Each structure stands twice: as structure tokens, then as C-alpha cells.
Chain A
């Protein structure tokens, strides 16, 4: 069954993007279709789980057909069907898992269950081959983790957030600043025009690679309350710049310390927050004089997509790590 240039049909529906991709040999994108629900959720100021599941259901068949068509392959040429098992919203995940099971069963193809974060890390394999040991910083709405990999498919979490994820802090601060959803890119944009004048706290958490963003979020919100109470004007640019500065300083510094301590060859930045302009710049600057290769995926592979799921699935395909038809979505799936 195993072959080297396998073609994988990959499905990702863990949050608000309905995505299907066709990937060859783990690093060649034949097609990568993403139907976003961004506009729908903008109206609600965030992702509404029930709405997300319904839209996934409406979109999944169409997106799948389009992905196959763009890749110019038929189901007969597909060697395996891969899907995100978790973590994510259970109702949303289920749509993808059930679609994958149905199509794998109908066409008698092996099924591969992929961890969403493994996918974000493997998004970088479209750029360059992995060189172990490597360190990955995963930053998104639900994650802030430092993961060491000694080989394909092995993940050692050496640091994680003790409270809120970085992206979550972004969303909450954006909400407090009354910025439209999604808040991350908005804050990044404002921050480019402001300066770090508020000097918000930095949570260093001595002797640990863990993160904490809850205190910072509270500090920003308290500052906004104070300004509003005193009827003072809120300089959104400076608030955004000060907040972002605090997040970035900690992310970059801790990543650098971990990368040095674990003597890694590569640093991979992954997850939705890796689209942040300042994070990309600061990270590249910090590692400029080091021998560690920094890899940050192109923007379209930073946000949720199915190409990355196909890339991670390729490794599992070669390790013969298959799922059977009893596969279920697992919203709290551990790496």
C-alpha cells in the first residue's frame, strides 16, 4: 500500500474555515481550497460554534469537489484521506471527520487522523525539509506552546501558557478597544503606527518556558477603564503598540532561550499569530546572528488550511499510523 509519492486528500474543519487540499509526497500542493466564514462571524464579533457547524455542512461537499478538480485528480488516484481530529470545536470537527469517514469508506481508502497543531507545524514543510532537533513556537487563538521535535511525529511540549493563549489575549484586548473581529490583525496594524508608551507588564515566569498573558490582558483592560473614567482620550495606536510589545518581547525572548538551551537546528513559528508582522520581524532579527534556521510559513499557510493537514498526514502515512472507521472528533485531543 505504501508508496513514496502518495497523494492525500486532506480535510480541516476545526474552527471557522472549511478547507480541503490535495497534497503529493507531503510537500507538494496540488490544490488548497479554503472557504472562510469570516464575514459571517464578523457580525457576531467572534466565532459562533453552532453557526460554524452549519456552514461547514453546507460547504464541505463543494469545497471537496473543487479541491479534487483543481488538483486534476480523481478519487481513484487518492492514496489516503486525512482529517483534523482535534483540538477544536466539537460540532465543527465532526463535520470534517464524518465527511472523511464517508469518503474513505465509499472509496476504500485508508484514513488518517491528524492533530491540528501538528498540521500548523508541518505547514513549514512546504518551504524546506525539517532538520532535527527543531523547536516550534505555536501561537494561535487557542495555543501558545514551545514544542521540541527530535524526529518526525515526536512532540515534547517544554512550555505552554498557564492561562490565556496569545491569540486569545489579542482578541480580548481588541474587544476592549472595540475593534472589529478578528482582532489580531487590527491590533498589529494599529501597533505599527504607535509606540510602547504604557509599559505594560511582561510575564517572564523565571526558570520556565511557560507563558502567561492573562495578567497583561487585565492590565490593558484596567488601563482602558481608568482612561474612560477620567474621560481621557484613548490613544488606540499606543495601547496596541504597548500591548503587542509586551507579548512579542516575551514570545521572542523565551523562544530564543529555549532554542539555545535545546541546541536546535531549526526554529519553526506556526499558528495563526505567526501571520503577525512584528512577530516575524522580531524573530528574524533575534536569530540573525545565530546558526539556527528560522522558518515562518507564508501568510496563506499560517491561518487554518487543509494543506498543512495533508503535510502532517504524509508522515503518518509512511509510519502507517492509520485510523479506522470508529474515528471520532476529540475537541481536547493531546499532541
Chain B
């Protein structure tokens, strides 16, 4: 487990950019945090690190948005799948050619791969955030280690 304290939106984004540089196709990240904690900011950082040119915005309505970059990014918000057993082809994303970021992942717990990078962002005050990175599996342990340096 790895923890960062960031003092600004910019710092939160920088961690995401650094993380993006280590990502490979097929990587899965779960991203949790309250409204306004900075999940979108973090995802924008990942997108920047993956050299995605388009604006990354909320996927809440369509559940999934796909972006082209150095590696494609699949951005999911599965909030609306609460209490539903619907499998919208998750495996095709998790095992696909891109990096998948899942917000509100608890609602699709049974579909998530065992190995994944679990990130949670907590709001300490208006500016300060506490970012916890919890790796599951060797590959993500390695990423976590590199991120620490």
C-alpha cells in the first residue's frame, strides 16, 4: 500500500501522469472517492500521460467512453449499474488493447479481475488530497514500487 498527500489539483494530476507512463494494454485501475474528490482530475492526468488529445469528460450517461492515445483508455463509470447483474462485456475491456479505469467499481465487484490497481482519493480539505494506491498482484506491486521512487 502506498500513500500520497497532494496539495493541489496539479499535484494530483502529476501522480496520474507518472502512473500512466508505466501502464500497459490490459491494465485495470479502480478509482474511488467522493463527489469532488478529484476522480475526473486523476483520469485527466492518466489521459495526458497516455497522450490522449481529446477532452476526457464524465462517462456517467453512457457508462463507458473510449479514447485513442499511445494506449487506448477505456473510462467507465458503473454507478448506474448498481443492483444490476448486467454484464456489458467487461472482459472485452479488461482483457482488451487499452487501459481500463473504473469508477464506482464496487457495483461490478464480481466482474473485476483479481489483479488490479486500486486507487482511492480522499478529500482532506479544499486543496489537500490523500491518494491511496493498493496493488493486487505482482504486476501492480511492481508499478506501485516504481511509483514510489
Contact = CB atoms under 8 A, between A and B. Distances in A.
Interface in B28-71: 35-36, 40, 55, 57-58, 60-66
A48 B65 contact: no
B58 A163 contact: yes
Nearest to B86: A50
Main secondary structure of the interface of B (DSSP, over half): loop
Contacts of B81: 49-50
Interface in B58-95: 58, 60-66, 80-81, 83-86, 88-89
Chain B's interface size range is 20 to 34
Contacts of A91: 86, 88
Given A50-B85, A50-B86, A90-B88, A163 B57 contact: yes
A86 to B, nearest CB: 8
Contact of B86 (A49, A172, A214, A222): A49
Given A89-B62, A89-B63, A90-B88, A48 B83 contact: yes
Contacts of B40: 163, 214
Contact of B35 (A49, A165, A221): A221
B68 to A, nearest CB: 10
Given A91-B88, A218-B36, A47 B80 contact: yes
Contacts of A221: 35-36
Contacts of B89: 90
A48 B62 contact: no
Contacts of B66: 332
Interface string A275-314: 0000000000000000000000000000000000000000
A168 B62 CA distance: 11
B58 A161 contact: yes
A162 B62 contact: no
A331 interface: yes
A25 interface: no
Interface residues of A, number: 31
A184 interface: no
A113 to B, nearest CB: 17
Interface string A150-180: 0000000000111111011000100000000
Contacts of B83: 48
B104 to A, nearest CB: 13
A331 B58 contact: no
Contacts of A161: 55, 57-58
Given A49-B80, A163-B40, A332 B88 contact: no
Contacts of B62: 87-89, 142, 331-332
B29 to A, nearest CB: 18
B83 to A, nearest CB: 7
Nearest to B82: A48
Contacts of A90: 63-64, 88-89
Interface in A178-225: 210, 214, 217-218, 221-222
Contacts of A165: 57-58, 61
Contact of B61 (A48, A50, A141): A141
A87 B64 CA distance: 10
Nearest first, the 7 closest Cβ-Cβ pairs linking A and B are A142-B61, A50-B86, A218-B36, A50-B84, A332-B66, A164-B58, A87-B62
Interface of B: 35-36, 40, 55, 57-58, 60-66, 80-81, 83-86, 88-89
17 contacts: A49-B88, A50-B84, A89-B63, A90-B88, A91-B86, A163-B57, A164-B57, A164-B60, A165-B57, A165-B61, A168-B58, A172-B35, A214-B58, A218-B35, A218-B36, A222-B36, A332-B62
